[in-house]
Structure 1
Amino acid sequence: MSISTGDYTITAAPVTATITSDNTVTKVYDGTAVPGYVPSVVFARTDGGTLIPNEGTNSLDQIAAWTAADFTYSLNGTTVANPTDVGTYTIEFSDAGLAKLAAATNFAVTPVYLGTYTITAAQATATLSTPSFTYDGTTKASDETGLFATVNVLAGTGDDGGSTVKVALTSDDVSFTRMAQTQSLMVIV
């Protein structure tokens, strides 16, 4: 009778970790960074198994609770630490989030980025000053001074209210179009 020795290998179970946001995460542009949003992370086995991270009692299967620091944002392939501008950002795991996934050593976790955070444009109205002068047969567009636009940004959901800004314009910012006996002012942005 002979006895042989050998190794018994247990490999990490393949799992996806999908970031989801239910396509409902939006805010209206207000010039401030995204608040401490924490998306959902859904685990799924890719080999037909049933045990996933945070199930069972083995400490090597556990992942600490997610925080906002576990995620970062990407716009057109560029990482954005604190999104403030209008756009739809892909939510990704930050280095801290990836470290949490790696800590569940009984699983080979593949991140899947399906979550998005959208910042929509704020609604604004612009009211132009109404210069006037007596018609004398000469062009007035290049002579006009004191032009301005009052821009009123309407409050969006979750922000602290709208704002109003007065913007000075030069003759290069506007064009004049003659309409019968009057000239109309049109802003060129």
Structure 2
Amino acid sequence: MAADERAGHRRPTTNDVASEAWGSRGTVSRVLTGEGYVSKGAWAAVLKAVRQTGYVANRHARGLATQRSKTVAFVLSEPRHRLFEDPNFSILLRECTRALAVHDIMLVLTIAGDQTGRERVATITGPLDTPGGVERLAGFRNVLGDVDRSRIATGDYSRESGSAAMP
């Protein structure tokens, strides 16, 4: 099904690409991730199907599947007005964004302002039987050292578990 046939409808999926390419979702996945063997003919068919369907990878879905968000948070601990008054911040943000973009990593700006002066810092990890949860906990401990266990909560990346972890 061509992209113009889907105009105004849902976004094309890897299933649509596989159907268009007369291949499997596994083949489409291997082409899109660049991992695993795919014959030259199948590779070309998948790329053609991607163009024909208008498929664009969903960054959030890929993050859920790989348990990696490919996102870096830039936390500005200065008052908001400093972001616009100090020319160094804009240069720093621009260069960080450029450097991360080379690796297909997004930068998210968070303005904490006066909130970073708080005495207690905590984290909500993901499930500790997943790489994402383990790495989040390791990063927290790497920065803060050995911390009281009450400052670490385990969640499942849902809004509900986040709310429950931070009463």
The structure with more strand, counted as a fraction of residues? 1
In the superposition, the TM-score normalised over structure 1's length comes to: 0.23
In the superposition, the TM-score normalised over structure 2's length comes to: 0.25
The structure with more helix, counted as a fraction of residues? 2
